[in-house]
Chains A and B, each alone.
Chain A
Amino acid sequence: MTRETDEQTREGIVEQLGGLARFGGAVVVLVVLVAIFAPWIAPYELGHVDVTQQLAPPSAEHWLGTDQSGADLLTQIIYGTRVAVLVGFSVVGICTTVGIVVGGISGYVGGWLDEAIMRVIDMMMAFPGILLAILLIFITQEPSLLAVIGALSATNWAGYARLVRGEVLSERERTYVEAGRAIGYGGPRLLFREVIPNILAPVIVQATFGVAGAILAEASLSFLGLGPQNIPSWGALLDQGATYFLLTPHLALFPGLAIMITILGLNFLGDGLRDALDPRAVTKYET
């Protein structure tokens, strides 16, 4: 049972990634680029509808066909990338920040504060999946992009906090922390400048999967009609498509493909990063 990573020398992170992970990374970069340059890439303007071509199948004019009001599906999917990227990255950005601060303090300070924070985390994690997000969006009468990001962040930070806390707990007993304390470094400096940088690897891995999770969650919420309104989002497109799938299967097919490719890319990247960054995660065995 030899761990592969044991033999690896420290190289650049890209060199350590396997082929699938690099492919995943490329997909993610592509999706982000599409999101940034959406107005230049999209064949039509966002509001453009072609009333003569409603529910049209894919053609040279509309590569992926049109929806029930005659809007170009490809354009909408391209703009949908923006929602996915925005939600994915901002939710994970907020969650990792909150998770590092809360989990770091909880693990480093310990005692009753740790107990209290852990109980709160337990409670947050007792809501399965997007249930709490559904509840939070329910209270904002009109679901918006901001509400979705807020709800998903409020639901997901606890997982990061728990991870960071566990890592900090094992890390704070290390000699370098003791050495830092001996030189007279204060608690905050030790925690955020010394300990946290050393535990970032598993956090980055979880964050990569977290982006995928957030994109999926946003799509699920939109599919349930609780996503951002008035902006095309993949989940909402799929929901619309599903109503007309008897007539035009392509309306449900393509938004789903967009989601799947993005998620697949992020998962490949996450797996690769885990193999490269986190020597403790055993994913492969020699036989």
Chain B
Amino acid sequence: MTSLIVIFGVVTIVFFVVRAVPGDPVASILGEQALEVDKRRLRQCMNLTHEESLCFGSGRAPRNFAPTTEIVDLQAGCPVNPEGLQLTLSVPTSTWTQYTHFWGDVLDGSFGELCGERGVTVADKLVENIPATVRLALASLAVALLIGIPLGILAALRPYSWIDNASAFLALLGISIPNFWLGPMLLILFSLTLRMLPNPGAEVTGLSALILPAVTLGSALSAKLMRMMRSSMLEVLHLDYIRTARSKGTPRWRVLVKHALRNAMIPIVTILGLQFGALLTGAIIVEKIFARPGIGTLLLEGIQKRNYMIVQGCVLFISMTYVLVNLLTDLLYGWIDPRIRYD
């Protein structure tokens, strides 16, 4: 329910922010020298204007004559009054109507037609680019989990030992090194100096091209997971039921995995849900560093070409994914910890 309100708010905010762009969006997409006819067609396609007929002799006048109002057509005889003169005008669509159209585009999943290219919707562009970003996000998630969870557990089992200190140091680095710096540094080290992994832009696909981007994007998350896993594991290990489990003779690993880990995972799930957004925005940067296709590259291209259909599509997609992941996180709680109930 809350997610629905939030999605409603997100769509509304995006709509009004994008409509606040100063200047003529049509001119910025088509360029200054575009023909009036093309501009008019694009305006109509983007629901900025629509045609309205006016019959001289029958009365109804268009409500507002804004600067963009222009005469499209003038012919003798209109349906209501064969004697009259039919004037077709291109009238600016009211913000409210644009808003409802916008909702229509969001709800049918097309995110609007990309009017520059006939018949192509923003959703088509998104679908083209989603797999690359999803691969990157999943790979970084895997990197983060594989580094963060085991090191966090080890650190919690031997607090203040060398492994704890080493992991604390690693975590500190992971949090403080910005990914847009780590990326180029990794490239210099592994692609140029050691020549172990492919350059960005080199036509290599598959896992080897994914390693550096995934490490770049996953390092910050793995640092956070590591610290969270450590403190949450420490907290759980001090609880009475762990002592009970140990004293009844359950093997140590079984206590750890079955009793401690399961409860210690709850904050980890929260962190994962909350940090997923950082992963998505981080992907924008990592895609730029490694010249990878994806939603981020699409967004940056849209910004450069000032094509606001693409920009709003990408922003909507990323934020909605984030809201959905947070919803899933909430639901996952109930599964991990049956004590939590949503009534």
B276: chain A residues within 8 A (beta carbon): 128
Contact of B178 among A128, A241, A259, A267 (CB under 8 A): A259
B18: chain A residues within 8 A (beta carbon): 135, 139
Give the complex CA separation of A18 and B284 in angstroms.
Answer: 37
Cβ contact within 8 Å between A219 and B289? no
Cβ contact within 8 Å between B231 and A235? no
B188: chain A residues within 8 A (beta carbon): 245, 249, 252
Cβ contact within 8 Å between A128 and B185? no
B10: chain A residues within 8 A (beta carbon): 123, 126-127
Of A33-41, A98-106, A161-169, A220-228, which stretch is located at the interface? Answer: A220-228
Main secondary structure of the interface of B (DSSP, over half): helix
Task: Indicate whether B84 reaches chain A with its CB closer than 8 angstroms.
Answer: no
B197: chain A residues within 8 A (beta carbon): none
The residue of chain B having its C-beta at the shortest distance from the C-beta of A285 within the complex is B234
Count B-side interface residues using an 8 Å CB cutoff.
Answer: 54
The residue of chain B having its C-beta at the shortest distance from the C-beta of A263 within the complex is B176
Give the complex CA separation of A242 and B285 in angstroms.
Answer: 12
Write the nearest CB–CB distance from A235 to chain B, whole angstroms: 7
The residue of chain A having its C-beta at the shortest distance from the C-beta of B280 within the complex is A128
Count A-side interface residues using an 8 Å CB cutoff.
Answer: 46
Task: Indicate whether A136 reaches chain B with its CB closer than 8 angstroms.
Answer: yes
Main secondary structure of the interface of A (DSSP, over half): helix
The residue of chain B having its C-beta at the shortest distance from the C-beta of A268 within the complex is B172
A1-B238, A136-B17, A287-B160 as given contacts; A126 in contact with B180, CB under 8 Å: no
Contact of B6 among A126, A128, A132, A216 (CB under 8 A): A126
The residue of chain B having its C-beta at the shortest distance from the C-beta of A223 within the complex is B180
| A-B pairs with beta carbons under 8 Å apart, 18 shown | A119-B5, A119-B9, A123-B5, A126-B6, A128-B280, A128-B319, A128-B322, A132-B315, A134-B284, A135-B18, A138-B21, A138-B303, A141-B21, A224-B300, A252-B185, A255-B181, A256-B181, A285-B235
What 8 pairs across the A-B complex have the smallest Cβ distances? A128-B277, A256-B181, A123-B9, A129-B281, A264-B176, A223-B180, A252-B184, A128-B322
Interface residues of chain B, those whose CB is within 8 Å of chain A, are 2, 5-7, 9-10, 13-14, 17-18, 20-23, 159-160, 172, 175-178, 180-181, 184-185, 187-188, 192, 231, 234-235, 238, 276-278, 280-282, 284-285, 288-289, 299-300, 303-304, 308, 311, 315, 318-319, 322-323, 326
